[in-house]
Every structure is written in structure tokens, then in C-alpha cells.
Chains A and B, each alone.
Chain A
């Protein structure tokens, strides 16, 4: 028997592993862009995933959007009252919800619900060799499992964010209506008077980025799960933690960008 060589590290094991991880994740993302434009498109599976993701998150998002609207209005009212400016409430809430709260709340809920679901599902397929089974049946599992899911989250989450914003405004209206008895129509007119096309556009644009992040992080963690059933739990967990972190980083980035555009 020959002596076993000990492995050499460039820096240390931890640092090397970190950079290998980043490199692998980067390769995963570029593979997505390479595969997404190639046939077959598995359209039916994309639509199926959109329904899975969208319909399952709908009740939770309806409720959360509604509550966020009510709570935010309730909390803002006293400060505006101090200035006798409660009539500004609809426009203030409109801006807050459309620009920030709607997309962010939706993304965080979906990171928890959808991201962990994708991580767990692909993780369990990985550790029980179902992904290899696809591969030996001459089916490209990356296309069939990853590309379809990432497309589905990227399409669905912006729609959910708009939906969430709408219910947020509705919740806010309930609160406003209880105090000032304005009609729903005038409320929405007020709220939207301060919202520009840029706001809606930016809101959709960042939701697309959040959707992509949730899909790709969940898939990456699941697709690379190891160590049996323990690995599945770990994949689901890390999918949530990492995508939430990235969503906040992106939020910061988007605020900067949209402010530059706004005041340009």
C-alpha cells in the first residue's frame, strides 16, 4: 500500500471550502441560464409548478397582506394626527405598501413556504437517488426539476406581490373607512395618486429578482443535499436562511437604484 497523501489547501480548509461553495453556486446559476433557452421547455411542468406555488401561498398572503395593511395604518395614524394630516394616510400607506411592504412581505413568506418546500423536495429526491434515476432514463433532471421551478417562482412571486399589495391597501382602507367613512374608490384614487409607474415597475422588477432568488437558492440547496435524511432538513433550512438574507441584500440594492432613477 502506498502512503495516503494528505490534501493541500490554498488557505485553510474553511476558507477553501467557502470559495469552492461560492464557485459551485455560481456554476449552478450559470447552468440555469445555459439550460433555460434550450429545448425541451417542459411548459406543462412550469405551469403545474406555478399553480403549486401560487395557489398554495394564496391564503397566507391574502391574510398577511390584509393584516399588514391594517396594522401599518393603525400605527401611522397617531403621528399624522399630530400634524393634522390624516388625509395623507392613503398616499403614505400606498407608497409604503407598493414600494416596500408588498414585495418584501411576499418574498419573505415565499422564502419560508416555497423555498423550504423546494429545498426539501429536491433534497429528498437527491438522497433517495431519484435525481440519478432521471439521469439514467436520459432525462435531464436539471431542466426538468430546477429550471421549471426557478421559472415558476420567478413568474409567480411578482404576481403574488401585486396581489399582496392590493390586499394590504384593502386592509388599510378598512381602517381608514372605520374612522373617516370614505368610499373604497376615493381611497384607492388617493392611494394611487402618489404612486407613479416607476413604483409599480420597480416593485415588479424586484419581485422578479426575489422570485428568482427563492427558486434558485431552494433548488441549489436541495440539488446538492448529502448525508441522507438529515441532509434534507438541512437543505430546507439553509434554503430559507440564505434566500432571506439575499432578499434583504437585494432590497438594499434596489432602494439605492430606484432612488437614483427617481431623482435623476
Chain B
């Protein structure tokens, strides 16, 4: 359990840096002044209850949503100031694993994985593509599902294929949106292991969004707690949950049935 936490972290260069981020939908103020850094090689687990704006936060990081106010720097680029081509170049360096996997359901597993590659990398032989697909399928342990349609996969398998699809472009940053939600404890443990393997094998920096404390504890080198549109706590798992603050306690008590 402790192996990844001891992984040494370079604290110098933040790969994601967010200052004073605000986001409002209509009358609903979702994010109210987010400050956040993700350092190279680090896994940060973002905790927060449903509707607190976790998905909105990472959608802003990849430029799917625009911030109302504040600066968002990813790999040195200010995301909301990029034109389409620059944004695409940046997005190739970021992997985004969706909350509900978002596999293309008109394509089989092979086509799902090959699609980002064939669309973005020119002049590849069939063999290059096959090799890349096999490599990521191997990494997520689902080689035998290569010809299945997404509708024939289980929820956990879909999550893994979704992760494999983002890995195929060899991202430097991984953003996981609720990788273990809706999964049984055993499958969750497998996904947690996969996230840690990915971090080591591909040397990624990751943001893992979750409300599952087991997942947060075992994947995050650091925990950040989102509440009321701001990060109210940031630090090592033990430090965060030593707090007596009510919202944090509530989270802890539910997850570990004291």
C-alpha cells in the first residue's frame, strides 16, 4: 500500500498551475477561487462530494469548459488563450479518462483504441498501430477483449479500455474522473493498481477525482479536498483526515464505517 507514497517527487515544476479560478453556470457558482498545483511525477487525489464541481474542474483543465475568471496553466500554456491547433497539440499530451468511460459505441475495442492514433499520427503502418493497441491492452490486462463491442463489456472493463485509449497517445498528464465509482471493491482495487502502474510505467503526473477514500489513499501522493467551490485542505492523507472539520469528518466516517 505504501509503495507509491514513498515514490520521490520532484517539487520544482508544476505541470498544472491554477490561480483564482471561478466558474459559474447561470446562477450556480460552482468554483469560487481555486488555487491548485500539480507537480511532475505526482498523483493528486481530489476529493469532494457529488456536485461540488470536480468534473467541471478537470474539464476546464483540458479546455472543454472555459473559466470565467482566473488563470489555468497546463504544461506552461494558458489553456483558455490557445487557438484550436495549439489546444489540440496540448491535448495530445493529456489523457482524460471519463466518469462513464465514453467509449465510442459504434466501434469495437480495437477501433476505439486505434482511433486517436490513426487520427493524430500520420503515415503509420498497420503493424505500428497493432503494436500500440496490443501494448496498451496488455497494460490494462484485457488482451482477449480486442474484438468485443463496448456494449458487451462490464463496467470495470469499460473503465480500463477508456484508460487504455488515453494511454495510447503516451500522455504526460492523466486526469481520471471517478475511476472507481460504481465498481465492486475487488475491481476498484484492480483499477487502483492500474493507476499506480501507469504512473510508474509511463511516468505520468495525475489528478484522480474520486469520492472513494480507499482510492484516494492508495493512489494519491497528496489529497486535495474540494468544498464549497474551494480547496479547503491539501496535504498527505493522514494530515488531511486528522482535521476535525465537519465536512472532512463526514467523508471519513462514511467511508470507513467507524
Contacts and interface: CB of A to CB of B under 8 A. Distances in A.
Contacts of B100: 128-129
Interface stretch (A60-68, A132-140, A215-223, A237-245): A132-140
B238 interface: no
B91 A138 contact: yes
B80 to A, nearest CB: 15
A135 B105 contact: no
A79 interface: no
B119 A139 contact: yes
B105 A128 contact: yes
Interface string B97-140: 01110111110000000011001100000000000000000000
Nearest to A2: B29
B96 to A, nearest CB: 4
B89 interface: yes
A135 B64 contact: yes
A130 B26 CA distance: 25
B62 interface: yes
Contacts, number: 56
Given A129-B98, A129-B100, A130-B104, A138 B27 contact: no
A132 B88 contact: no
Nearest to B107: A130
Contacts of A140: 84, 88
Interface residues of B, number: 27
Contact of A132 (B92, B102, B103, B105): B102
Interface in A127-184: 128-130, 132-133, 135-140, 144
A135 B64 CA distance: 8
Nearest to A124: B105
B26 A136 contact: no
A128 to B, nearest CB: 6
A137 B115 CA distance: 9
A5 B115 CA distance: 45
A137 B64 contact: no
B118 to A, nearest CB: 10
Contact of A138 (B105, B106, B120, B165): B120
A132 B92 CA distance: 14
A125 to B, nearest CB: 8
Contacts of A132: 59, 64, 98, 102
Nearest to A138: B88
Interface in A85-142: 121, 124-125, 128-130, 132-133, 135-140
18 contacts: A4-B27, A7-B26, A7-B27, A129-B102, A130-B102, A130-B105, A133-B96, A133-B103, A135-B91, A136-B94, A137-B115, A137-B116, A137-B119, A137-B165, A138-B91, A139-B116, A140-B84, A144-B119
Given A128-B100, A138-B120, A144-B119, 20 more contacts: A5-B27, A7-B26, A7-B27, A121-B106, A129-B99, A130-B103, A130-B105, A132-B64, A132-B98, A132-B102, A133-B104, A136-B64, A136-B96, A137-B115, A137-B119, A137-B120, A137-B165, A137-B166, A138-B119, A139-B115
Interface of A: 4-5, 7, 121, 124-125, 128-130, 132-133, 135-140, 144
Sorted nearest first, the 6 A-B pairs with minimum C-beta distance are: A138-B88, A133-B102, A137-B116, A129-B102, A136-B96, A138-B91
